[in-house]
């Protein structure tokens, strides 16, 4: 139910929501009646009622030797939302101003190099999504978003197999790409500029190199059509690759 999904965002479990809804429906009732309506055993119902009381969603009053519980107005859910939002805002400020800067100090130098390897279609899908995410995040605000690619003819029909809507996702993010194609062919696409290097009958194999500072991704095929990728996270390497790409681009 959408109610359960929404209230879970406020931190309420499904059982807590069930008990609160039961109370709204029944009005003031004993634990036994609430447990029956919510279809939860009495011991669990009592523990849930105590939790709901701390959230100001339930109150009780004595009737003889028993307690009758009743639901507080649903408007109190908005109070819960506002309290949660204040907590999140406070956490956001701490993360941005103190925690994340402190954690960054635990990392090696900003120009350190990390290398990760990925295999199979799932790995290539991750790398393709990482290209879009990184370019979208790293590009200057309001500036053009662009990355660079070397792509050989043999890899083209395999590259987007795990993510056939990659180009549409790229265009939706308004990300441009410059492609130096090795060998003829290749389809034109929106926000894409392409130049070619003849392969001169040299078998270069299936390869794809994406340069998207601070990273470079290199994808190739092994055992026929099984893709593997290596991602190098190094700003200095990515900048050097970008410079060499742009120099070649201007000469083609």
Task: Answer yes or no: are the C-beta atoms of 181 and 166 closer than 8 Å.
Answer: no
SS3 percent helix, strand, coil of the chain, rounded to 5, is 50, 25, 25
- 145-152 and 175-182 beta bridge pairing: parallel
The fold of the 114-251 domain, in CATH, is: Endonuclease; Chain A (3.30.870)
How confident is the model at residue 168, as a pLDDT? 92
Residues of the chain with CATH 3.30.870.10: 114-251
Identify the architecture of domain 1-106 in CATH.
Orthogonal Bundle (1.10)
Nearest partner of 131 among 111, 152, 160, judged by Cα = 160
The predicted model gives 212-235 an average pLDDT of 90
DSSP letters along 26-44, please?
H-SB-HHHHHHHHT--HHH
Q: What whole-number distance in Å separates Cα of residue 66 and Cα of residue 49?
A: 14
Residues of the chain with CATH 1.10.10.10: 1-106
How confident is the model at residue 222, as a pLDDT? 81
Of 156 and 129, the structure prediction assigns the larger pLDDT to 129
How confident is the model at residue 109, as a pLDDT? 54
How confident is the model at residue 47, as a pLDDT? 92
Question: Comparing 12-21, 125-134, 200-209, 243-252, which segment has the lowest mean pLDDT?
Answer: 200-209
Question: Is the confidence at residue 156, as pLDDT, over 90?
Answer: no
How confident is the model at residue 243, as a pLDDT? 94
How confident is the model at residue 218, as a pLDDT? 95
How confident is the model at residue 63, as a pLDDT? 79
Question: Is the confidence at residue 137, as pLDDT, over 60?
Answer: yes
How confident is the model at residue 180, as a pLDDT? 92
Q: Locate all alpha helices (DSSP H) within 55-141, ordered by sequence.
A: 76-94, 100-104, 120-138
28-75 residue pLDDT tens: 988 998 999 999 998 998 999 999 999 899 998 887 778 899 999 999
**Banded model confidence at residue 189, pLDDT cuts 50, 70, 90:** confident
Q: What whole-number distance in Å separates Cα of residue 23 and Cα of residue 72?
A: 9
pTM across the whole model: 0.58
Averaged pLDDT of the chain: 87
Nearest partner of 149 among 90, 207, 86, judged by Cα = 207
For 7, 23, 77, 142, 145, the CA distances from 35, given in Å and listed in that order, are 20, 10, 22, 57, 57
How confident is the model at residue 202, as a pLDDT? 60
Nearest partner of 35 among 52, 55, 15, 53, judged by Cα = 15
> What are 221's strand-pairing partners?
227
Q: What is the DSSP secondary structure assignment for residue 52, as one 8-state letter? A: H
The predicted model gives 234-252 an average pLDDT of 92
Task: Answer yes or no: are the C-beta atoms of 219 and 229 closer than 8 Å.
Answer: yes
Question: Is the confidence at residue 252, as pLDDT, over 80?
Answer: yes
The predicted model gives 189-195 an average pLDDT of 90
**Banded model confidence at residue 223, pLDDT cuts 50, 70, 90:** confident
> What are 208's strand-pairing partners?
151, 219
Q: What whole-number distance in Å separates Cα of residue 146 and Cα of residue 89?
A: 32
Q: What whole-number distance in Å separates Cα of residue 244 and Cα of residue 252?
A: 13
Q: What whole-number distance in Å separates Cα of residue 45 and Cα of residue 18?
A: 10
Task: Answer yes or no: are the C-beta atoms of 98 and 91 closer than 8 Å.
Answer: no
Question: Is the confidence at residue 187, as pLDDT, over 80?
Answer: no
93-124 residue pLDDT tens: 888 877 877 776 676 555 567 889 999 899 99
Question: Is the confidence at residue 138, as pLDDT, over 80?
Answer: no
């Amino acid at each position: 139910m959408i109610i359960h999904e929404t209230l879970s965002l406020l931190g309420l479990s499904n059982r807590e929501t069930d008990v609160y809804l039961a109370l709204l429906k029944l009005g003031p009732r004993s634990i036994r009646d609430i447990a029956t309506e919510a279809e939860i055993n009495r011991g669990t119902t009592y523990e849930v009622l105590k939790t709901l009381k701390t959230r100001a969603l339930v109150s009780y009053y004595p009737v003889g030797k028993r307690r009758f519980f009743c639901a507080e107005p649903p408007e109190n859910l908005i109070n819960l939302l506002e309290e949660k939002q204040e907590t999140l805002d406070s956490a956001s400020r701490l993360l941005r101003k103190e925690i994340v800067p402190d954690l960054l100090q635990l990392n090696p130098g900003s120009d350190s190099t990390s290398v990760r390897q990925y295999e199979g279609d799932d790995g290539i899908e991750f790398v393709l999504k990482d290209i879009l995410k990184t370019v979208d995040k790293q590009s200057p605000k309001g500036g053009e978003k662009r990355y660079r690619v070397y792509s050989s003819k043999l890899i083209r029909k395999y590259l987007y197999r795990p993510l056939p809507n990659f180009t549409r996702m790229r265009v939706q993010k308004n990300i441009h790409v410059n492609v130096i194609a090795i060998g003829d062919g290749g389809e034109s696409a929106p926000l894409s500029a392409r130049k070619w290097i003849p392969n001169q009958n040299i078998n270069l194999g299936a390869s794809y190199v994406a340069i998207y500072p601070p990273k470079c991704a290199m994808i190739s095929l092994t055992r026929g059509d099984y893709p593997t990728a290596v991602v190098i996270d190094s700003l200095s390497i990515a900048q050097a690759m970008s410079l060499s790409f742009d120099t070649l681009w201007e000469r083609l």
